[in-house]
Amino acid sequence: MLLLALTLTLLAVSVRSWSEGNLSGAELTRLYSSPVYKAERMKRPLGSSSFMIGPISHSGVRVTLADGSRWLIHKGNNYGVSSQTVVTSARHMSSDWRVVKVGDFQGRKTVGDFVATGGSDYDLLFDNCHWASIRMMNQ
């Protein structure tokens, strides 16, 4: 429980909802404590390119919660302040994202578990968006 509280505190600045602005306090705690029922590993072309070839792409995990809301958890260099793994509302994901793998988590993991598994640090070769999204799906 202490670890979850610490994670929530450290990652508070990294979570944004596109429609409501920054989440904080009770909203943030509620989101991080929310059970994940479905997770989809997703990929899209990197930057403005129109093609994906292996690591020349961006990946993340879109999670679905009990209330039907969907959130994208993804990692990138300088994405967040205290963590490079961030959570954003999936409502504004472009149509370029493609589902690569689907997982049924049946509420056994929370959004906070996914963020923690994604990791706070970023390394282009050894801890990038692809490695983070694979770890999230395999937890």
Q: Look at 54 and 10; give whichever has higher pLDDT.
A: 54
Buried b (16+ CB within 10 A) or exposed e, 5-42: eebbebbbebbebeeeeebeeeebbebbebebbebbbb
CA 67 to each of CA 56, 103, 121: distance values in angstroms, whole numbers, following the listed order: 34, 18, 30
Domain boundaries defined on the chain = 2-47+55-138
The yes-or-no verdict on residue 104 having pLDDT over 90 is: yes
- Output the six-digit token pair for 55: 């690591």
Is residue 18 very low, low, confident or very high in pLDDT (cuts 50, 70, 90)? very low
> pLDDT over 70 for what percent of the chain?
84
Task: Give the Cα separation of 122 and 39 in Å (integer).
Answer: 22
